[in-house]
């Protein structure tokens, strides 16, 4: 299989997307075609042999061939002609904005490029933390209590300690834990730097946390359940480790009943919406109750370290990607108007 | 002002998008640049003087210059160079899929083309009727009761008569009113032709219906309230009239209290999400209670016939389009990793 990895793009996670993309080189069997989206939203075809972080930070990637997006794929100019970059399917590895907010998904859907990753609707529903909650609740999946504040608002009704998050960032940027009223205004101002709307949730001290990744191919394929290493919460630097991780982690020590419940909640969330994507759901467990914390629709380095056979999972997913409905346009309608007018 | 109208695209409403676009010619003051997306998702620059429905149904539009989408706009080849098509802002007039499901919004947002129309998140939330309901309810706006069925399901729990709609089409296609159990299976099969998920709602006989269009510029600008002509419901052919309508309609005969309540509900729905768009909300009123029926984020011919000064509304909207946050990418993070490695 020949996989095009699409990475970079304009987001606060541009750099960790590069790290994630590089990690794929040692993980994926088969040929990789690297397609980089730079900070000007121009696409470049990066030779796989050259891929390393310095290529991007130095700006040397600009020596690589530029690509144009058109129906059917990415095109590269060669002399007088344009040639389509050859690959079997794309893997959207652009974390954060652009990649996870529905924009790159839309480009790929619109131009009919088969890809692994959330579609435009799944992206919007997971990128906006309010929408995630509304959606999960509608499926009978429990979520952490919350309220949404709009820029300029500084009053909360949830008891301290609380956790403050920009409503629409796919990372830990702008997130704070607030233990008392004195620290609230500053934390909100930090979050408002990144979004006009902010999510407030109770911060549950010492809560049990479990991550489960998976996908739906011909059947559901689940990763092991991980109990992430406990820090107060993962800040940006610590999160980096997740994006370059390539060795498998230990399975969480939980009973099969809880594992089943985590998988059930995962399947409810995944449903039809996330078809085509490998996602990671982060759950809390409080008194045996499974609570959805977040959906990560393009997890760092595709959460490869959670899968027993990552390559097989990707391969099977690539063979069962959702097809968009064919709509035939026959101008029957305009013909009938013209006929009526011609009378 | 120089306005690029983007129309056509791959949807069941491709043809009425053409009708809508043609209607703009006599409505908009200022120069129009017509950008047509054909059934292969290729873009063409249609000379304004040539615009008429036959150009498209005959395939003659293919003689017009082809365009490529890149950062900053649509580009047209001329001899050896590429030239950007010049306009001040775009108006997304692609009804239905592509235009209203977030794909074209994403293209325009990604390539930083200023435009009137719903952004990607607003598109997804209004295109999927379940998401619309969850969102409206979260804002305290009442919605019609509902249930969602997945392909293969034929049992409903709502009392007859019911109205059956594909979950994700922005038109009346695939919609049926079902008065008893005998007619249910056929109606569901029709709807399942268009979507794997179907919305079931009680059909409220003789319900009062009111449409209100509007937008947020420096302030909210509202249209008059219209009481749409009552048919059992508008089918595709009757709906056509809406898309070519260019003369103003009569204001509904309602008291100022109800009008205020309709505007309040509209503003709640519009909020931050629909900034940049001119939308039409279709409401039901039952015993004085305002209930959101549907959001039309790109109404037929932009609901021009509801505005007292349509041109002014468009102009003011174009001057207050939402700006996306600037994200600077400085490779500080990768630089720091490289430094650490170099030690």
Structure tokens at B80: 């050896």
What residues form DSSP beta bridges with B202?
A: B162
User: Percentage of chain B surpassing pLDDT 70?
Assistant: 95
Clarify whether residues B237 and B131 are in a common domain. Answer: yes
The ipTM is: 0.94
Tell me whether residue A75 is in a domain.
Answer: yes
Clarify whether residues B134 and B242 are in a common domain. Answer: yes
Question: Number of structural domains, chain B?
Answer: 3
Q: Give the residue from B94, B57, B130 showing the smallest Cα distance to A272.
A: B130
Residue of A nearest to B131 (CA): A135
Among A226-240, A267-281, B110-124, B207-221, the range scoring the smallest mean pLDDT is A226-240
Among A49-58, A144-153, B232-241, B273-282, the range scoring the smallest mean pLDDT is B232-241
CATH of the domain at A133: 3.30.470.20
Work out the mean pLDDT of chain A and round it to a whole number. 93
Clarify whether residues B36 and B167 are in a common domain. Answer: no
Given a cut of 80, whether residue B164 has pLDDT beyond it is yes
Given a cut of 60, whether residue A108 has pLDDT beyond it is yes
CA distance A88 to chain B (A): 20
Clarify whether residues A242 and A134 are in a common domain. Answer: yes
DSSP B38-60: -TTS-EEEE-GGG--HHHHHTSG
Tell me whether residue B227 is in a domain.
Answer: yes
User: In B, which residues are within 8 Å of A131 by CB distance?
Assistant: 121, 125, 131, 134-135
Residues B33/B45, Cβ–Cβ less than 8 Å? yes
Tell me whether residue B131 is in a domain.
Answer: yes
Clarify whether residues B102 and B168 are in a common domain. Answer: no
Given a cut of 70, whether residue A231 has pLDDT beyond it is no
- Are the Cβ atoms of B121 and A124 closer than 8 angstroms? yes
Tell me whether residue A280 is in a domain.
Answer: yes
Clarify whether residues B97 and B10 are in a common domain. Answer: yes
Closest by Cβ to A57, choosing from B56, B197, B335? B335
User: In A, which residues are within 8 Å of B333 by CB distance?
Assistant: 15-16, 236, 240
Clarify whether residues A31 and A106 are in a common domain. Answer: yes
* pLDDT per position as a tens digit, A198-224: 999 999 999 999 999 999 999 999 999
Closest by Cβ to A106, choosing from B56, B103, B329? B103
Clarify whether residues A241 and A133 are in a common domain. Answer: yes
CATH of the domain at B110: 3.40.50.20
Length of chain A (residues): 343
CATH of the domain at B169: 3.30.1490.20
* pTM (two decimals): 0.95
- Are the Cβ atoms of B112 and A41 closer than 8 angstroms? yes
Structure tokens at B281: 């909300």
Average pLDDT over residues B124-152: 97
Clarify whether residues B38 and B184 are in a common domain. Answer: no
- Are the Cβ atoms of A125 and B131 closer than 8 angstroms? yes
- Are the Cβ atoms of B327 and A10 closer than 8 angstroms? yes
CA distance A236 to chain B (A): 10
Tell me whether residue A334 is in a domain.
Answer: no
Tell me whether residue A343 is in a domain.
Answer: no
User: Percentage of chain A surpassing pLDDT 90?
Assistant: 85
Confidence (pLDDT) at B343: 47
Clarify whether residues B226 and B160 are in a common domain. Answer: no
What's the domain range around A30?
A: 2-116
Clarify whether residues B33 and B98 are in a common domain. Answer: yes
Tell me whether residue B336 is in a domain.
Answer: no
User: In B, which residues are within 8 Å of A337 by CB distance?
Assistant: 53, 240
Clarify whether residues A24 and A152 are in a common domain. Answer: no
CA gap A171, A174 in Å, rounded: 8
User: In B, which residues are within 8 Å of A95 by CB distance?
Assistant: none
Tell me whether residue B342 is in a domain.
Answer: no
* pLDDT per position as a tens digit, B192-205: 999 999 999 999 99
Confidence (pLDDT) at B234: 52
Given a cut of 70, whether residue B166 has pLDDT beyond it is yes
Greatest pairwise CA separation for chain B in angstroms? 78
* pLDDT per position as a tens digit, B214-256: 999 999 999 999 998 765 555 556 656 667 777 778 899 999 9
Q: Give the E-state strand segments of chain A in sequence order.
A: 2-8, 31-37, 43-46, 66-70, 73-78, 81-84, 89-92, 115-116, 142-143, 147-150, 162-166, 176-178, 197-202, 208-216, 220-226, 279-286, 289-296
Q: Report how many Cβ contacts below 8 Å link chain A to chain B.
A: 154
Instruction: For the beta carbon of residue B82, count every other beta carbon within 10 angstroms.
Output: 12
């Amino acid at each position: 299989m020949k996989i095009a990895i699409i990475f970079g793009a304009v987001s606060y996670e541009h750099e960790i997307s590069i790290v994630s993309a590089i990690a794929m080189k040692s993980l994926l069997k088969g040929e990789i075609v690297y397609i980089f989206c730079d900070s000007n939203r121009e696409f470049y075809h990066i030779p796989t042999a050259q891929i390393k972080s310095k290529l991007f930070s130095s700006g040397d990637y600009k020596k690589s061939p530029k690509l144009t997006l058109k129906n059917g794929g990415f095109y590269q100019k060669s002399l007088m002609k344009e040639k389509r970059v050859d690959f079997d399917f794309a893997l959207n590895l652009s974390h954060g904005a652009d990649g996870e907010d529905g924009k790159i998904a839309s480009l790929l859907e619109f131009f009919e490029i088969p890809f692994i990753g959330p579609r435009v609707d799944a992206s919007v529903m997971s990128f906006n933390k309010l929408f995630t909650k509304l959606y999960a609740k509608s499926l009978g999946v429990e979520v952490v209590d919350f309220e949404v504040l709009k820029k300029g608002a500084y009053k909360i009704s949830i008891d301290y300690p609380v956790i403050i998050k920009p409503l629409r960032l796919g990372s830990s940027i702008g997130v704070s834990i607030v233990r008392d009223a004195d620290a609230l205004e500053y934390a909100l101002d930090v979050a408002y730097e990144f979004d006009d709307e902010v999510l407030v949730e109770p911060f549950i001290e010492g809560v049990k946390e479990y991550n489960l990744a998976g996908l739906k191919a011909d059947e559901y394929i689940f990763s092991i359940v991980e109990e992430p290493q406990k820090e107060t919460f993962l800040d940006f630097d610590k999160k980096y480790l997740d994006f370059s991780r390539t060795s498998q982690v230990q399975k969480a020590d939980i009973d099969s009943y809880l594992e089943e419940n985590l998988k059930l909640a995962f399947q409810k969330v995944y449903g039809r919406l996330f078809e085509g994507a490998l996602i990671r759901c982060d759950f809390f467990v409080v008194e045996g109750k499974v609570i959805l914390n977040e959906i990560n629709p393009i997890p760092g380095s595709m959460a490869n370290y959670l899968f027993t056979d990552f390559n097989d999972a990707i391969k099977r997913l690539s063979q069962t990607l959702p097809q968009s409905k064919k709509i035939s346009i026959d101008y029957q309608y305009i013909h009938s108007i013209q006929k009526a007018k011609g009378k």
